[in-house]
Structure 1
Amino acid sequence: MTSLGTASAAPGEKDTGRLAVGEARDGSEVGLPVAVVNGASKGRTLYIQAVSDGDELNGLGVIQRLYPRINPNELAGTVLIVGIVNHYGFQVAEHRNPIDDTKLNRAYPGNANGTASERIAAATFDAATRADLVLDLHQGSTSRMINETRVRCGPRHRLHRDCLELAKVFGCGYILDQKGPDGQLARAAPDEGIPTIDPELGGSVGWDEESIRLGLQGVTNVLTHYDLLDGTHDPDPQTRATGFEQYGAPAGGLVSFTADLGDRVERGDTLFQVTDTFGDVKSEVSADTSGVFWRTRRLPQIATGEYVCSVGTDIDRF
């Protein structure tokens, strides 16, 4: 019998339930939606979570489609799922946890006696560290972004090669291989010996069906490649960036882009223009280095110094 919260499944079974992480302001129990798929035969354990940032919903779209498709009688091993990590942020469609104004994916490995975010991080970290592989499903919040996977442990980490291989197997087409901030699950879990990646499934307001489709295929690739499901998966080469440059607005106004997501840009190429209300160009910004046009803001209006776009740099094929 394998359990996660109130979900419990014998070999060849699956179940859903709730993982208690504290109480809300009215005293009611807060439980995260969880699932266990216990394979009929033994194998690896895969842990998947989504919505640690409360407005990033594409990962939840993946889980909603994935769980009904997994037949435990065809599975070798176990899949543990937390469908919505940031309960409080999800309820109000906000990125951060409004209870403690915390970005939850900066709270790992958490503290079982700490803040609301630290308690959620501790409970989900405990679940993640039961696994052999971890997928922490994200997206570019409400920005426009390419579909990519992120390796966050850093190139000197003993698990770097394993995490990079997992990202390649997932197969979004692009990998950002750059050490992440402290407190990320993809930073903390490798320290416990578990290969972990952040698939960043595009960016949208609501759900983006293409990104969800790619995410679902990515999880299926992982299940197949690591022998939880029958079949073969030969990973395709990925475009990898090890640098990431962000560009801000030198003037306020309306931004228009001269490059599209996924385009290769060279040093000196124009990335965007800022115009006034009547279309007169106030400023033009060019790429400092060559790379891939990776991410942009969604809304056109900007103030001086506000984030506009990002370019992935130091590109190779992996």
Structure 2
Amino acid sequence: MTSLGTARADPGDVDTGTLPVGEGPDGSEVALPVAVINGARDGKTLYIQAASDGDELNGVGVVRRVVPQIDPADLSGTILVVGIANYFAFQHNEHRNPVDDTKLNRTYPGNENGTSTERIAAATFDAASRADLVLDLHQGSTSRMINEVRVRCGRRHRLHKECLELAKVFGCGHVLDQKGPEGQLARAAPDDGIPTVDPELGGSVGLDEQSVEKGVEGVFNVLKYYDFLPGQADTQSQTRASGFEQYGAPTGGLVDFQAELGERVTRNQTLFEVTDVFGERKATVSADSGGVFWRTRRLPQVATGEYVCSVGTDIDTY
């Protein structure tokens, strides 16, 4: 039998339950929704979690489609799932945990005796540590972003090659291969010897059907490639960026983008213009380097210095 929290599944079975992570302000138990899919045959263990940031719902959309589609009779190995990691942020539709104003994906491996967020990180890291592979499903918050996978361990890490392979297998088409901030699951888990990637499934308010479907395809690619399920994974070359340039507004006004998401841009190509409310152009911003137009803000109005867009740089194909 394999268990995660209250979910317990014998070989060839599936169960759902909850993973206790503390108590809320009213003293009632707080627990995360979890699932265990225990294959009929021995094999590897895959850990999947979603909604590490409470307003990033595409990963939840992936989980609710993937879990019902997997027949444990066809599965070799085990899949452990945390469907909603950042409980309080999800309830309030916020990015950070409002209880302690902390971002979950900056607190790994966590502290079981720490703050609300640190306890969630400790409980989910304990689950992830039981796995051979980890998928931490994210999105570009509520901004507009291409579908991509992030390798966050850094190029000199002993598991960099394995993480890069996992990113390629997931297959969003684009990979950001750049060492991430401390406290990210995709940095902490490789330090424990577990290849881990951070699929960023677009960026949207609510669920985006195209990005959810891309995530579902990615999970099943991983399951087939690593022999959890029979079948052939659809692996293709990925466009990799190793750098990331962000652009802010040099003046206040309304933004007009001159490039499309996913477009290859060249140095000095115009990325966006800023106009006043009467259409008078106030500023034009061009790319400092060639790359891929990666991410933009969603709303057009900006104040001076506010974030506008990002370009993935140092591009290659692997």
> Shared fold by TM > 0.5?
yes
TM-score by length of 2: 1.00
In structure 2, the partner of 1:257 is 257
Partners of 1:125 and 1:219 in 2: how far apart? 20
2:69 aligns to what? Answer: 69
For residues 271-314 of structure 1, give each alpha carbon's deviation from its aligned partner in whole angstroms, at most 9, with x where no partner exists.
00000001110000000000000000000000000000000000
Give the TM-score taking structure 1 as reference length. Answer: 1.00
Counterpart code for 2:305 = G
Task: Return the alpha-carbon distance in structure 2 between the equivalents of residues 263 and 210 of structure 1.
Answer: 18
Q: How far is 1:237 from its partner?
A: 0.2
Query: How many pairs are equivalent?
Result: 318
Q: Does 1:289 align with 2:289?
A: yes
What does residue 114 of structure 1 align with?
Answer: 114
* Corresponding position of 2:242: 242
Say whether 1:40 aligns with 2:40.
yes
Letter of the structure 1 residue corresponding to residue 190 of structure 2: P
Write the letter of the residue equivalent to 2:203: G
* Deviation per residue, 1:174-217 (Å, 9 max, x gap): 00000000000000000000000000000000000000000000
Q: CA RMSD in A?
A: 0.4
Structure-1 separation of matches of 2:202 and 2:9: 33
Report runs of 4+ in structure 1 exceeding 6 Å deviation: none
**How far 1:144 sits from its partner (Å)?**
0.1
Match of 2:275 in 1: 275
Partner of 1:314: 314
Q: Distance in 1 between matches of 2:48 and 2:298?
A: 28
Alpha-carbon separation, structure 2, partners of 1:7 and 1:234: 32
Letter in 2 for 1:226: Y
**Unmatched 5+ stretches in structure 1:** none
Q: Give the stretch that moved more between structures: 233-242 or 118-127.
A: 233-242
Letter in 2 for 1:66: V
- 1:235 Cα offset (Å): 1.5
1-structure distance, mates of 2:284, 2:97: 36
Paired amino acid for 1:239: T
Residue 232 of structure 1 deviates from its aligned partner by 1.6
Matched, 1:92 2:82: no
Q: Which amino acid aligns with 1:243?
A: G
Q: 1:46 is paired with a residue of what secondary structure?
A: strand
Amino acid at match of 2:118: E
| Alignment gaps of 5+ in structure 2 | none
Match of 1:10 in 2: 10
Equivalent residue for 1:168? 168
**What's 1:217 paired with?**
217
Query: 1:233 deviation in Å?
Result: 1.6
Q: Secondary structure at the match of 1:121?
A: helix
**Residue 234 of structure 1: CA displacement?**
4.7
Seq. identity, %: 74
Q: Which residue in 1 is equivalent to 2:80?
A: 80
